[in-house]
Chain A
Amino acid sequence: MMKRDTMNPYLAGFFLGMVLLATIFVTGRGLGASGALKSLVVTAVADVAPAHAESSPFYAHYVGPGKDSPLKSWLAFEVAGVLIGAFVSGLVSDRLKVVTEAGPRVASRLRWLFALAGGALFGVGAQLARGCTSGAALSGMAVLSTAGFVTMLAIFGTGYAVAWFARGLWLGGNVER
């Protein structure tokens, strides 16, 4: 039997569900992640090129005279909490380590490239779907939003559809970790 270094997934799922439920119960909204990255981008653009930000229909929605900084948003604070919470978890479980994790046949540089590309795709997709796996799929499903289920099915359905083409990135050699 393999020694497990992480929490039982069902128990973790239950705790995650309780955190989400507490969020909905107290604040009336769900959790998220990609929205905080958007706040970062909008803030950076508004600082570097304020005129451009105000003339663009995308940025103008978030910045402009009389509006708070996008970093003073709920999701930005929540994701700051995620960073700290994950760090604390890594600390107590002795998992803090600067390392690149890649499939057995993938060099670190290639892994970085694909991680960058995957992140970029998520950045684009999360704008269209109004949220990522957390904000749209998970939180949306909890409140029985149609968008939540559609997004979840599209993400995971596509994942299975394209996994075979990307198998070289993850499989090969010794699959076991």
Chain B
Amino acid sequence: MGPFVPDLISDQLNLVVALVLGLGFGFVLEQAGFSSSRRLVGVFYGYDFTVLRVFFTAAVTAMIGVLLLGSAGLLDVDAIFVNPTWLWPAVVGGIIMGVGFVIGGYCPGTSVCAAAIGKVDAMFFVGGGLLGIFGFAEAYPLVQTFNDSSALGPVKVFTSLGISQGVFAFLLIAAAVAAFAATTWIERRVAPASAPSLSFARRPHVLAGAALLVLGVVLLVLPDYKGRILSRVSSPSYAVAHAVPVMTADELAFRIVDHEPNVRIVDVRSPKAWAARSLPGSVNVATRDLFGKEWSATLSPRHVRKVVVGETEEQARIAGLLIRELGYENVAVLEGGFPKFEKTILTPAPFAFAGGRWDADVARFRDDARAEIARLAEQAKKAGQKQPIKEKKIQGGC
């Protein structure tokens, strides 16, 4: 499952990867004709919409790829870098860049391409870019407050608009196809003799547009990978077909008191409930986060029994089934959920003798366990509950 940085590809190798991907980026940009400023600004005057065609197609292609790979479970979309939003700085920065585009004739990426093939104006543009960054850096204390304002974090556009991911993807694709058709019509009127679109064969372009719209409809109904697996393991029929061993409160208490090394308590209750009261040595993780690579070190060892603790046994069972579905082994769930453990072991209550032969032993064991678990919990509190360190997030952006 991608991405492969930082697990499979080290920081050093990543630089080589960057060089290779940059090669492809530069080659395609230049082949697209992006090394010509007059062609680039044509998009603003209507005589050449190459920029819109290349740019929109690239964005839509990559977006569709990310969504399809994510849905197939080949790419962890929660792990990739999503450019964080600083709303007003993005607007103002975009306005400044828009003016720069029209008077300069390039954007930074295209200017590097054009400079590479000998365009002198592009070399001036790159030099201007360096000067602009230098000026910004020197004036940084003056603009820092604005620069850091309206920070919204790595928010996704469909969330901002209040629609679903699938609907947004479909609308973007439909907008792209409409824009391709409309701009071709405009271009042929503005430059009837030289519009680049005059050389397009009609049939393949119409077919490609139709295929793109079909893909948009697919995205509209495409379930997301994690949601799909979660709903599968949550269904009652799945639980019937895939039983997970159940551990009683007494057994778990015994293993805690016994300092059994090959038991790992995975608490899937809310962080609030976990912080309020939890078992010594337990880790807290939301069921959906179990997909994350950062938990594989905890869940992988086969000889370690993962005991899932939930608010209810059902919550624990779903998480347990998910853990197994993700390929980990040796999973059990706590019987009756955390409240039953609390009632049976942690709360001093008179033992209801039912005339069983071992009743007295059980009562004594529970008293001892309660005291020992309280001691361990106290100890853990003093040491500070240890959570596995979250994986280093991928860095990105310019």
- Which chain A residue lies CB-closest to B205? A10
* CB pair A85 B27 closer than 8 Å: yes
Please give, as numbers and ranges, the residues of chain A lying within 8 Å of B180 by CB-CB distance: 10
Check: B28 CB closer than 8 A to any chain A CB: yes
Contact with B along A11-34 (1 / 0, CB 8 A): 011111111111111111111111
**A129–B397 Cα gap in the complex (Å)?**
10
- List chain B positions with a Cβ less than 8 A from chain A: 2-5, 9, 14-33, 35-39, 41, 43-45, 47, 49-50, 53-63, 65-66, 69, 74-75, 79-87, 89-122, 124-138, 140-141, 143-144, 146-147, 152, 154-160, 165, 168-169, 180, 191, 193-196, 198-200, 205, 208, 394-398
* CB pair A118 B157 closer than 8 Å: no
Please give, as numbers and ranges, the residues of chain B lying within 8 Å of A82 by CB-CB distance: 22-23, 25-26, 29, 109, 112-113, 116
Instruction: Name 13 extra pairs, CB < 8 A, besides A120-B100, A127-B147, A171-B45.
Output: A5-B33, A24-B3, A28-B4, A29-B80, A31-B21, A116-B131, A122-B104, A122-B129, A125-B92, A128-B92, A128-B146, A135-B83, A176-B47
Q: Given A37-B130, A90-B116, A119-B126, does the pair A166, B103 have CB atoms closer than 8 Å?
A: yes
- Which chain A residue lies CB-closest to B1? A25
Check: A50 CB closer than 8 A to any chain B CB: no
Q: Given A13-B53, A162-B98, does the pair A89, B26 have CB atoms closer than 8 Å?
A: yes
| The one of A13, A72, A116 that contacts B56, using a Cβ cutoff of 8 Å | A13
Q: Given A13-B54, A17-B61, A123-B128, does the pair A27, B3 have CB atoms closer than 8 Å?
A: yes
CB-CB nearest 10 A-B residue pairs: A118-B104, A123-B132, A81-B22, A154-B94, A119-B128, A158-B98, A17-B61, A13-B57, A85-B26, A129-B93
Please give, as numbers and ranges, the residues of chain B lying within 8 Å of A96 by CB-CB distance: 117-118
**A26–B21 Cα gap in the complex (Å)?**
10
Which parts of A61-95 form the interface with B (CB within 8 Å)? 72, 74-75, 77-90, 93, 95
- Which chain B residue lies CB-closest to A141? B59
* CB pair A136 B37 closer than 8 Å: no
**A143–B38 Cα gap in the complex (Å)?**
30
Q: Given A79-B22, A82-B112, A119-B124, does the pair A134, B90 have CB atoms closer than 8 Å?
A: no
Check: A173 CB closer than 8 A to any chain B CB: no
* CB pair A130 B90 closer than 8 Å: yes
Contact with B along A151-167 (1 / 0, CB 8 A): 11111111111110011
* CB pair B128 A155 closer than 8 Å: no
| The one of B84, B116, B144, B199 that contacts A87, using a Cβ cutoff of 8 Å | B116
Please give, as numbers and ranges, the residues of chain B lying within 8 Å of A124 by CB-CB distance: 93, 96, 132-133, 135-136
**A129–B61 Cα gap in the complex (Å)?**
23
**Binding site secondary structure of chain A:** helix
Please give, as numbers and ranges, the residues of chain B lying within 8 Å of A90 by CB-CB distance: 30, 35, 116-118
Q: Closest Cβ of chain B: how far from A66's Cβ, in Å?
A: 15
Q: Given A37-B130, A122-B128, does the pair A77, B22 have CB atoms closer than 8 Å?
A: yes
**A121–B102 Cα gap in the complex (Å)?**
11
* CB pair A7 B31 closer than 8 Å: yes
* CB pair B133 A114 closer than 8 Å: no
